[in-house]
Amino acid sequence: MIRVMIVEDDPATGALLRQLVKRIWPQAVVTLDADPLLALDRWQEQGADLILLDWELPGMSGLEILKTIRRSGIKTICVMITSHSDRDEILAARAFHVDAYIIKPFDAKQIMERLSQLIDTDVQSDGSTESESFESLDAFIENRLKQNLIGLPIAPEIVERIARIRDMEAPERIGLLRECRLEPALLFRMLSLANSSRYIDGMDVVETFEEAIRKIGLDAFINLAVEVSLHPGSHIADECLARKRFEIRRSLMSLVGILVKLREHLEFNLDSCRTACILHSVAELSLLQLMQTWIEAGHTIDETTRDSILDRYAPPARERLQAQWLIPNTIRERIEALDRLPTGTVRKEPIIMRITALLHAGDPQHELPRLMARFGLSGKIDAVSTGSES
């Protein structure tokens, strides 16, 4: 079994490289370290068949790690990754027998091809998928949730467009970014990255797509989109699952449309509330991704099984996603308000989220008149009960 080490302090780049490696060798043991000293200790203790080294690391450069590895005489394939193409730097790395030199921004497919060429086929994995070892869909999903091995589906078409975003004219780029802010997989992962210690100082939080892309930058955004698309099951191709994904998206867009109508009558942060609407069903979407992975391993799923999985596993999937990624508590509060408003809530935006949900799904407990009256919206239900964002 191949062992790969990645030493990269940029979270988006590190996550992308990890997925690229797993795409080539599904059963590879892959470690990701941001601290070069810890990474070097790990290499000295465990070794590696392949190590991907960022040139610029905090406290110790990738070149210094390369020198240490080469001086040891232990065979390890070393790949240097840098945003610089300076001839002197390249020559310095070559002096210590670097096996490959990759310049950022890089193309994911080219990286996969290059890495495949570097590893002897005798040590490559057999390419079998882990889902083949489980006796049932339930066992597979429970294992993935336990291991935090869950992602979110994304259409490959939008990822292809994102990969070309640097070459777009301003109007096309703006249009694409407006689409991206409505993509749960992108929004969820971008907020998590933008709210990580790498990008956040003090008590500030990032709540919207626009804030996130300003914080992490265009290169990290592209890397993140590609990384999300490389997770098994990320492309929902099965018709049964695709129908459900379409229903979920239509419901989310309806919630956003109602918010837009409410904004005509009330002052509130529309962008942050829209974020909560788009992220409301991430648990269900993550389960569709897992079910697509199961199907790609040669199994079948009908609508009854699909709906049963969604009903039973949505709560634990939601808990795992919240533990796995960093979403601000303010956004979580608004998401939860779409399902239930805690007793005694007085903050404006959670109440607006609850009004939005009731206008969308119905009001069997007759909550709506009381909540609408708090904002002077009595008698305006018809004006805000339908709508969609273009």
**Please, are residues 151 and 145 in contact by the beta-carbon 8 Å criterion?**
no
- Mean pLDDT (whole number) for 268-277: 95
Q: Is the pLDDT of residue 121 over 70?
A: no
Per-residue pLDDT, 225:
93
What is the pLDDT, as a whole number, of residue 127? 44
In sequence order, the 6+-apart residues with CB closer than 8 A to the CB of 280 are 252, 255, 335, 338
Q: What is the pLDDT of residues 235-255, one digit of tens each?
A: 999 999 999 999 999 999 999
Within the chain, how many helices (H) and strands (E) appear?
A: 19, 5
Share of the chain above pLDDT 90, in %: 59
pLDDT at 85: 64
Q: What is the mean pLDDT of residues 350-362?
A: 95
- Position 49 scores a pLDDT of 93
What proportion of the chain, given as a percentage, has pLDDT over 70?
91
Residue 196 per-residue DSSP state: S
Residue 120 pLDDT class (50, 70, 90 cuts): low
Token pair of 323, please? 């533990």
Phi and psi torsions of 329, nearest 5° = -60, -30
Q: Six-digit token pair at 158?
A: 């939008």
Q: Span 357-364, mean pLDDT? A: 92
Residue 390 has pLDDT above 90, yes or no: no
Residues 135 and 304: their CA atoms lie apart, in Å, by 19
Look at residues 178, 123, 169, 141 and name the one whose alpha carbon lies nearest to residue 289. 141
Per-residue model confidence (pLDDT) at position 132 = 56
How do the domains of the chain map onto residue ranges?
3-123, 239-384
**Mean pLDDT along residues 378-388:** 59
Predicted confidence band at 86 (pLDDT cuts at 50, 70, 90)?
A: low
* Distance in angstroms (rounded) separating the CA atoms of residues 14 and 8: 5
pLDDT at 129 over 60: no
pLDDT tens-digit map of 145-188: 988 778 899 999 999 999 999 999 999 999 999 999 999 999 99
CATH of domain 3-123: 3.40.50.2300
> Residue 9: what are its φ and ψ, rounded to 5°?
-95, -5
Average pLDDT over residues 352-366: 93
Higher pLDDT, 257 or 100: 257
Closest CA to 126 of 234, 21, 16, 24: 24
**Does residue 233 register a pLDDT over 80?**
yes
Arithmetic mean of pLDDT, 128-137: 70
Q: Note the pLDDT tens digit of each residue in 3-33.
A: 999 999 888 888 889 889 988 888 889 999 9
Q: What is the mean pLDDT of the chain?
A: 88
Count the neighbouring beta carbons within 10 Å of the beta carbon of residue 32.
17
Q: What does pTM read for this prediction?
A: 0.84
Whole-angstrom Cα distance, residue 14 to residue 6?
A: 7
Q: For residue 174, count other CB atoms closer than 10 A to its CB.
A: 10
Residue 203 predicted with pLDDT over 80: no
**In angstroms, rounded to a whole number, what is the distance separating the alpha carbons of residues 347 and 366?**
20
**What's the average model confidence in pLDDT over 330-350?**
92
